[in-house]
Amino acid sequence: MANRSSQKILPPRSITPTTDPAQPAASRRSTPRHTHYLPLPPRPGLAIIHISMAAPALLAAAALLALAAAWLWDYAVARHLLRPRAVGAVFRAQGVRGPPYRYLRGSNGDIRRMRMRAEADAAALDARDHDYLRRVLPHFLAWKDKYGAPLLHWFGPQPRICLFDYESVRQVLWNKSGHFAKTDAHPAILALLGKGLVLVDGADWVRHRRVANPAFAMDKLKIMATTMVTCAERLIRECEELASTSKSGEVEVEFSRHFQELTAEVISRTAFGSSYKEGKEVFHTQQQLLALALATLLNLQLPGFKYLPTKNNRLKWMLEKKMKTTLTAIIQPRLASKGSGYGDDLLGLMLEACFTTEQGEKQDELALTMDEIIDECKTFFFAGHETTSHLLTWTMFLLSLYPEWQERLREEVLRECGRANPTADMLSKLKEMTMVLLETLRLYGPVLTMLRKPISDMRLGSLSIPKGTGIIIPIPFLHRDKEVWGENANEFDPLRFENGITNAAKTPQALLSFSIGPRSCIGQNFAMLEAKSLMAMILQKFSFTLSPKYVHAPTNLITLQPKFGLPIVLRPLDV
């Protein structure tokens, strides 16, 4: 270092003598001139000038080097090596085991491989086989068999403990102190949902939930039921027109795509009222973001990577920007129309709760920023249509498979609603329909897992969980627990809900499809109302069976979906 700095501050040749008196004259002539500089001390005055010019650069370089070393230590050694080892030891000491930690990737590579193999091996199940865990969550199934429960695995360097017992799950979901927070969302999920109600925590969550709650009150939902019925009418009409072109009167329709479009239409209209066309643009953008999330979710997450202009990142930024522009264009005119009210759709009701009290005053403590309102719209939009469309798809699948239940529901619908379009009051009387929907949610609930992380070291029963460990709740496993649901846990039996949700299993609140506790789904009544109105209208008009083309391959695409869609053969009832 000293040598290098003295080289740098050497004076220019014209100033410094170029001869070494110790060398013979002959060699002095042939020696390149620069070799003579080294032994000569610089002139003191000049050295001071050069040192003062070079020192900041040197210091900055040294600081950068130190920073890089510290980062490397923290990232490559502490975070990815020492901490996983230490946390692994804490769990091992408590008898909790799991797959080995793999440097940088954790268990992600194993999960990806096992899921790909499962998809390939078990291309299709028998349609009456509702035990699809080996296809959908094969890693948990294999590891639970091998290592027992609870189970430790790794999402990159983050330890994740998978809970399979209701007692622990209830403690996590019912915790009101906020000690079990949402995990930091993957950038792709954040782009999709925004930092809305699903992902916020603490005081922010309280504020967001207070603003959103009034929009989901039953009296408001009843008004929205009319919109749901109007959207459903369009689908029914399309099916009737198709059937009228067929000689036999039968027609095959791929329902999962139709339900996706229908639920997008319903949420566009119920959330954004007259701006529903722009709302549907949000749907298309979210579909692209969803595809991106699926492709990147298990990839290695290098720090800072999300800021690099890679192909995927640029696409993500472009889609995010597009969604923001669309939503801003919907929200801003509403804010401007304050004098005439914000409107009675989800957005209007949210803005109302956000900005005015019953006395019409502005309430600052509840106000959301423009970005927060945008994120809340993204959340409602995605959470509101993606899940409900799969609930409809799986209900249609199960009713096709169990014609006795299809007939029972049809009788109930005709009894309570006749042939007229159903109203919210009529729908609330459909008890057997509710039982079928709940059983569908138990066996084919669209949400497969929930995630939390303790914000400090916590105890769950006898298990001590270090701060920051991810806690994963694999819903379909719990819904197939024979000790809780009985020996027929893998079978379709809506009668288990005959005496309500609470009495459906040995453990109260065993149905986790909408979650339980303070963070349970705000849109569950909305989803049930939508599902009931559409199923009632289909049952009024058609009988239906599974098409021979149907392949039973439930798959995990963030939500549970039929991999090859749901082709259904429809027969108009009055043919």
Q: Is 526 in the site for ligand HEM (CB under 6 A)?
A: yes
- Residue 7 has φ and ψ, to the nearest 5°, of -60, -45
Q: Pick from 45, 158, 51: which is nearest to 98 by CA?
A: 158
Could you give the CA distance from residue 88 to residue 93 in angstroms, rounded to a whole number? 9
Task: Determine, following the binding rule CB under 6 A, whether residue 519 of this chain makes contact with ligand HEM.
Answer: yes
Q: Does 560 bind ligand HEM (CB under 6 A)?
A: no
Q: What is the dihedral of CA 450, 451, 456, 460, to 10 degrees?
A: 40
Q: Does the annotation list 521 as a binding residue?
A: yes
Could you tell me which stretch among 48-56, 274-282, 321-329, 511-519 binds ligand HEM (CB under 6 A)? 511-519
Contact 566, 396 (CB under 8 A): yes
Cβ proximity to ligand HEM: between 110 and 281 the closer is 281
The DSSP secondary-structure symbol of 76 reads I
- Per CB under 6 A, contacts with ligand HEM among 205-234 are 209
Q: Work out whether strand 158-162 and strand 470-474 pair parallel, antiparallel, or are unpaired.
A: parallel
Q: Which residues lie below 8 Å from residue 94, measured CB to CB, with a gap of 6+?
A: 462, 463, 464
Does residue number 515 form part of the binding site for ligand HEM (CB under 6 A)?
yes
d(CA 118, CA 111): 10
Stretch that binds ligand HEM, among 69-77, 113-121, 304-312, 376-384 (CB under 6 A): 376-384
Tell me: does residue 383 bind ligand HEM (CB under 6 A): yes
Nearer to ligand HEM, 271 or 292 (CB): 271
Q: How far apart are CA 438 and CA 253, in angstroms?
A: 25
Q: Which residue is nearest to ligand HEM (CB)?
A: 523
Cβ nearer to ligand HEM, comparing 99 with 446: 446
Identify which range of 91-99, 111-119, 453-461, 516-524 contacts ligand HEM by CB under 6 A: 516-524
| Cβ proximity to ligand HEM, 190 vs 391, nearer residue | 391
Question: What would the 3-class secondary structure string for 281-312 be?
Answer: HHHHHHHHHHHHHHHHCCCCCCCCHHHCCCHH
Q: Which is nearer to ligand HEM, 445 or 494 (CB)?
A: 445
SS3 184: coil
Amino acid at 52: S
With H, G, I as helix, E, B as strand and everything else as coil, classify residue 196: coil
Distance CA 329, CA 332 (A): 6
What would the x/- binding string for ligand HEM be over residues 450 to 489, using CB under 6 A?
A: x---------------------------------------
Q: Is residue 389 a contact residue for ligand HEM (CB under 6 A)? A: no
> Which of 521, 546, 553, 557 is in the footprint of ligand HEM by CB under 6 A?
521
- Given 151, 192, 198, 535, the residue binding ligand HEM (CB under 6 A): 198
Q: Is 384 in the site for ligand HEM (CB under 6 A)?
A: yes
Annotated binding site: which residue ranges?
521
Using CB under 6 A, list all residues that contact ligand HEM.
197-198, 209, 379-380, 383-384, 387-388, 391, 445-447, 450, 513-515, 519, 521-523, 526-527
